Amino acid sequence: MSSGADPVITARGVDLTFPTADGPVHALKGVDLTINRGDFVSFIGPSGCGKTTFLRTIAALETPTGGSLTVNGMPADEARKARAYGYVFQAPGLYPWRTISGNISLPLEIMGFSKADRAERIARVLDLVDLAGFGGKFPWQLSGGMQQRASIARALAFDADILLMDEPFGALDEIVRDRLNEALLELWRKTQKTIGFVTHSIPEAVYLSTRIVVMSPRPGRITKVIESTLPAERPLEIRDTPEFIALSHEVREGLREGHSYD
């Protein structure tokens, strides 16, 4: 990652203040971060630390009140308009009145892809998330894990280089979560995407990431950035290795430093 670093997302002194009835809330304060092409970056921290807010500012779903933020060399909002990223929320958010294929087709229709192109892309991403053959089903006919995979397929369909994921597996049970984490790593290897991933699970962050960004609340800020020493090839069993446990410990220490429970 260090050789030939190619910055895709660059944040310099990003501030975001929400005005509220009880005075301004500093959701983000002085956030500096560079994410390079092909990085898998996890954001971890207690609730209120601004991890989701930072992901949303990258997506230009929130507008920073200070600092600069560029995505693909453009201001974040222009990057959004250029459809630079696919966004995956905690809930699948599939339309119940569309089939799985219809749901994946939705952003493609909005972006004006031709019918033949849409069909080809839908087939490709369904295959990628291991849902081939389920295109004709309606969302309610699928399990929660399959629905979330469909929503990832939807975010991949239009070939954005960046994938932003906001606790995508947070609502799923542990077993399904493990399987999806494994599948996500596989998908990341295949597609070479740059991934920003919000989680509050330490094992999930350590297992998936090339870099772990530890954040802390009041005001929301980055307290530590941990480079992963794990190899690119990561079977699930890697979680029992001393290296994995040491990294988890480092993340936990980082969380503790940044957050005093007063």
Partner 1 sequence: MTRALPVLTVLAAIILIWYLAAIGMNAQWAEDQAARAGTELTTGQLIADTLSQDRPVLPAPHQVAAGLWDGVFGQAITSKRSLVYHAMVTLSATMAGFAIGSLAGILLAVGIVHDRTMDQSVMPWAVASQTVPILAIAPMVIVVLASIGVTGLLPKAVISAWLSFFPVLVGMVAGLRQPDAMQLDLMRSWNASRSQSFWRLRLPSSMPYLFASLKVAVAAALVGTIVGELPAGATSGLGARLLSGSYYGQTVQIWSALFMAAALAAGLVVLIGLIERITLKRMGLAR
Is 137 within 8 Å of 98 (Cβ atoms)?
no
Residue from the set 10, 17, 89, 200 that interacts with partner 1 by CB under 8 A: 89
Q: Please, what is the minimum distance in Å from the beta carbon of residue 215 to partner 1? A: 21
Residue from the set 12, 66, 75, 83 that interacts with partner 1 by CB under 8 A: 83
Does 249 help bind partner 1 (rule: CB under 8 A)?
no
Which stretch in 33-41, 44-52, 63-71, 83-91 sits in contact with partner 1 by CB under 8 A?
83-91
Residue from the set 53, 72, 99, 101 that interacts with partner 1 by CB under 8 A: 99
The three state secondary structure string of 85-151 is EEEECCCCCCCCCCCHHHHHHHHHHHCCCCHHHHHHHHHHHHHHCCCCCCCCCCHHHCCHHHHHHHH
Residue 169 tokens, joined: 């597996």
Is 16 within 8 Å of 57 (Cβ atoms)?
yes
How many residues make contact with partner 1 (CB under 8 A)?
Answer: 24
Does 59 help bind partner 1 (rule: CB under 8 A)?
yes
Is 15 within 8 Å of 65 (Cβ atoms)?
yes
Does 95 help bind partner 1 (rule: CB under 8 A)?
yes
Does 96 help bind partner 1 (rule: CB under 8 A)?
yes
Q: Please, what is the minimum distance in Å from the beta carbon of residue 216 to partner 1? A: 25
Buried b (16+ CB within 10 A) or exposed e, 4-21: eeeebbbbeebbbbeeee
Task: By CB under 8 A, name the binding residues for partner 1.
Answer: 59, 61, 80-81, 83, 85-87, 89, 91, 93, 95-99, 106-107, 109-111, 138, 140, 158
